[in-house]
Amino acid sequence: DAGVIQSPRHEVTEMGQEVTLRCKPISGHNSLFWYRQTMMRGLELLIYFNNNVPIDDSGMPEDRFSAKMPNASFSTLKIQPSEPRDSAVYFCASSRGGHSPLHFGNGTRLTVT
């Protein structure tokens, strides 16, 4: 079992640039979650999908953030344009739903200068 795979592991970009983070969930999992970790706010839920459909995006901080899940094996989180305050570690997680625990990827560390 390969686990949740995120790419890239590290991303350094300049303010104003577009950033795309990628996630491959565990095969057979039908729920996918995007989280952001910062020192100030801890782990925040940004958006989640069930069966590739976005269910709740109320955690997305601004319109600059968007997420897609075109199929069951791939999701992206895009920030356009990026700002220094977006610097954080972004985690993707998947689960079978219900009482199944979330399985997290190793995250993407984003630095916006």
Partner 1 sequence: DQQVKQNSPSLSVQEGRISILNCDYTNSMFDYFLWYKKYPAEGPTFLISISSIKDKNEDGRFTVFLNKSAKHLSLHIVPSQPGDSAVYFCGSGTGGGADGLTFGKGTHLIIQP
Name the residues that contact partner 1, by CB under 8 A: 4, 31, 33, 35, 41-45, 48, 50, 55-56, 91, 93, 95, 97-107
The position carrying tokens 């969930």 is 25
> Which of 28/101 has CB closer to partner 1?
101
> Which of 93/112 has CB closer to partner 1?
93
> Which of 74/104 has CB closer to partner 1?
104
Least separation in angstroms between CB 3 and partner 1: 9
Written as six digits, the tokens of 28 are 């057979």
Q: Is 96 left (phi over 0), alpha (psi -120 to 50) or beta?
A: alpha
Least separation in angstroms between CB 18 and partner 1: 24
Strands 42-50 and 31-38: antiparallel
> Which of 13/30 has CB closer to partner 1?
30
Beta bridge partners of residue 91, listed in sequence order: 35
Q: How far apart are CA 63 and CA 10, in angstroms?
A: 23
Least separation in angstroms between CB 98 and partner 1: 5
